[in-house]
Structure 1
Amino acid sequence: MRKMWVLFVSGVLLLTTAVFAGCGSEDASTGDKGSGDKTLVVYNCNPDDWTAPIVKEFQEQTGIEVQLVSGGSGELMARVRAEKDNPLGDVMWGGSGDSYVALSPYLQPYKSTEDAAIKPEFRVEGNAFYNITMDPYVIAYNTDLVSEAEAPKGWKDLLDPKWRGKISVADPAKSSSTYAVLLTMMDRLGGDPAIIAQLVENLDGKIASGSAAQIKALSDGEYALTATFEEAVMKYIAHGSHMKIVYPAEGTAISTGGIGIIKGAKHLENAQKFIDFAMSKGVHERFTNYQRRSTRGDIGAPSGLPAVTEIVYEPFDTKRAVDYKETFLQLWREAAMK
């Protein structure tokens, strides 16, 4: 998921009572300072442009002091596992749904007061975690290099030799989001593993350093096409980049961003309050301001984007993604070495 997409957030004060600490800084356990049940530690791997206002409002409404420990999803989830006997965090926030499936043994199930409002296809059996945002996988093209008439219509166009060397894609072994997109491409084209080698050949040896780099390269005009998340492209478009989105004709998948309570959380009641708040309608209504889609059934799409009902899609199959990853990556490596 989607989260898809990993930023390291520098320390910033929301309020005089709010502390933002990067990974490797003071341990979360030292942030309590006698505040007792008015403390909450959140491991956060989301950008602060939309999470900081949510945290600020939660603090103001509840009086609970929130400490955000920020870092990449892989880093923070590894920390959750390492701390299983003595959890220093209460909530894990951010990272793709498939990552949460693997993390479920380390999460505390909780049925939120907002559970019924979530679209049925995005509910999690057993409530081990919640899908808070959703993000379709799309194709994007640079409008300075590609006309609307010649723009791709679907996944199969990425295999067309006319785009050889003009497609910006990261190494799926290094980018979980790119892996999810390319697995979706393969599945929507019939599931033939040979598609992996065909795509690698069409990349002509050009691999981006990461998922963020591949979108920047498209925006800068270094490449004509990319395959990525909708939200990542919309951010660039909102800042003036000359790009357009294509929802593949063959259909696509929708990834999710997750949030969940860490098993053994020292501030369990506060963690439950935070989940209820983060999943509430009032909070999700503001997601559209940040080009993010809500998983709630009563919230529409961000301005300028089609409703999810207008997109041919299936929820991303997280279990398949976890089970098939090593096979996919082995086929990718073999094709890249030829």
Structure 2
Amino acid sequence: MRGGGLGLCGHGLPGRRKRERSAIKNTVPFDCPRADSNIECPGRSIQVPAPVRSLIACLAALLAPVVFAQAPARNDDVLRYRGADRDARLVERARQEGTVVLYTSLAPTESKPLAEAFEKKYGVKVELWRALSDKVVQRVITEARANRHAVDVVETNGPEMEALAQERLLAEVHSPYLADLPADGIPPHRLWYPDRLNFFVVGYNTEKVQRSELPATYEGFLDPRWKGRIAIEATDSEWMAAVVKRWGEAKGMDFFRKLAAMKPDVRKGHVLLAQLVATGEVQVGLTMYNANIESLKKKGAPIDFVPVQPVIARPQGIGVAKEAPHPAAALLFVDFVLSPEGQRLYESMGRVPASTKVKSELNNFPFVMTDPNTILKESQKWEALWNELFLAK
């Protein structure tokens, strides 16, 4: 994702951004599509990078007067219905609507099979628009400001979902599958719901590093023998914040200052970092997404991961747009994604399902769930610390 246009809110000072760019090795293939393309490309991450959260906050501030003036959602009778005939009524009305419009940052290799499975089961067409998560947020906000209600369902990163919820662009729904989700993953306002998890794990090249060599905690990577062998992703201030909160300020910041002194390789994009570990150019990645590793591993690449403690999990979310033009189809799609069937489909594609009803080998260890609301509130603090430690020359 890109942070263009940040001058609107006074963020992204040119001098600092120049220093940050000089610290990052951003090897991107020459045929990589534009930043606004719907095609996922190596070197691009769907996580909100450092400046983008500021852009989200800025856009939200501009939108606030418009949103607050809106009338209550017209779709509550559909979205919150709890009668015994709920499922039958929902399917019937969804088929009458005929279409559900989905905005998502889920990779095309996963969003397309998900849409096709839903269409096959219910005969309701999915109009899929896929982009990086900041583009998803921008489009939803822009359309709302223009009083153009096109989207039915939004599926993207937790912090972005929280930003949309705080601007009252999402609707509370009732689904029988909400009870299957981890209680600490559902925000109090219940305007969006976790549908999958991203784990920050340690990935390694199995031809360069033996599993037995890897330490059980991140502190073990401060050993001088790891210098020149480890890498981090350039935008992972969220991971640092979660680790510090878990360990406490004194212990946590002491660790990150020592890690910075190790001068880890810094790469832009979780997909790129996974590919570099798979090729052996990078031996160990400290802040990798489990799904990227699993995808390459299934293709035979010499890559694996270990759940080094503390394992940080970030919820990815799904929600129904407050002014969804196809409310029944929207809720039916959310039902499908959160159902065991939809969650097993996620698991088959290497994603970690959020449902407690679907077991995955990837969630058989303790982990700490991040709070998207806290991430939004404290983002500038942690981004500044991260940039100072790892990106500034």
TM-score normalised according to structure 2 size:
0.69
Distance in 1 separating the partners of 2:244 and 2:232: 15
Report the more deviating stretch, 155-164 or 64-73: 155-164
1:261 pairs, out of 284, 299, 320, with 320
Q: Corresponding residue for 1:101?
A: 162
Q: Corresponding residue for 1:219?
A: 278
- The residue type paired with residue 302 of structure 2 is H
CA RMSD of aligned residues (A): 2.5
Distance in 1 separating the partners of 2:257 and 2:345: 41
Q: Corresponding residue for 1:27?
A: none
- The residue type paired with residue 141 of structure 1 is Y
1:298 pairs, out of 351, 354, 357, with 357
Q: Corresponding residue for 1:51?
A: 111
Paired residue secondary structure (1:69): strand
How much does 1:150 deviate? 1.9
Distance in 2 separating the partners of 1:240 and 1:57: 26
Paired residue secondary structure (1:203): coil
- The answer to whether the 8 A contact 2:270-2:292 is kept is no
How much does 1:43 deviate? 0.7
Distance in 2 separating the partners of 1:47 and 1:319: 24
Q: Corresponding residue for 2:154?
A: 92
Describe the superposition over 1:247-305 as per-residue Cα deviations: whole angstroms up to 9, x where unpaired. Answer: 124x222222211111211112221111112211222222221122222121111xxx2
After TM superposition, list the pairs within 5 Å mapping 1:1-338 onto structure 2: 9=38, 37-84=97-144, 85-93=147-155, 95-104=156-165, 105=167, 106-172=169-235, 178-191=236-249, 192-204=252-264, 206-226=265-285, 227-249=287-309, 251-301=310-360, 305=361, 308=363, 310-335=364-389, 336-338=391-393
Taking only the aligned residue pairs, the percentage that are identical comes to: 20
* Greater than 6 Å deviation, 4+ residue runs: none
Report the more deviating stretch, 187-196 or 67-76: 187-196
Distance in 2 separating the partners of 1:337 and 1:61: 51
How much does 1:135 deviate? 2.9
Describe the superposition over 1:161-202 as per-residue Cα deviations: whole angstroms up to 9, x where unpaired. Answer: 322232222211xxxxx3333333333443333443332332
- The answer to whether the 8 A contact 1:97-1:258 is kept is yes
Distance in 1 separating the partners of 2:206 and 2:248: 29
Describe the superposition over 1:81-105 as per-residue Cα deviations: whole angstroms up to 9, x where unpaired. Answer: 1111322211112x22122112212
How much does 1:311 deviate? 1.2
Higher helix share: 2
Alignment gaps of 5+ in structure 2:
1-34, 40-94
- The residue type paired with residue 392 of structure 2 is M
Residues 257, 337 of structure 1: alpha-carbon distance in 2 compared, 3 angstrom cutoff? closer
Paired residue secondary structure (2:386): helix
- The answer to whether the 8 A contact 1:134-1:294 is kept is yes
Q: How many residues align?
A: 297
TM-score normalised according to structure 1 size:
0.80
- The answer to whether the 8 A contact 1:100-1:129 is kept is yes
Report the more deviating stretch, 45-54 or 265-274: 45-54
Residues 193, 260 of structure 1: alpha-carbon distance in 2 compared, 3 angstrom cutoff? same
- The answer to whether the 8 A contact 1:42-1:89 is kept is yes
Describe the superposition over 1:75-129 as per-residue Cα deviations: whole angstroms up to 9, x where unpaired. Answer: 0111111111322211112x22122112212211212232122232333333201
How much does 1:9 deviate? 4.5
- The residue type paired with residue 243 of structure 2 is M
Describe the superposition over 1:228-261 as per-residue Cα deviations: whole angstroms up to 9, x where unpaired. Answer: 2222211111111222312124x22222221111
- The answer to whether the 8 A contact 1:80-1:89 is kept is yes
Describe the superposition over 1:10-64 as per-residue Cα deviations: whole angstroms up to 9, x where unpaired. Answer: 5xxxxxxxxxxxxxxxxxxxxxxxx982222111211232322221232233332
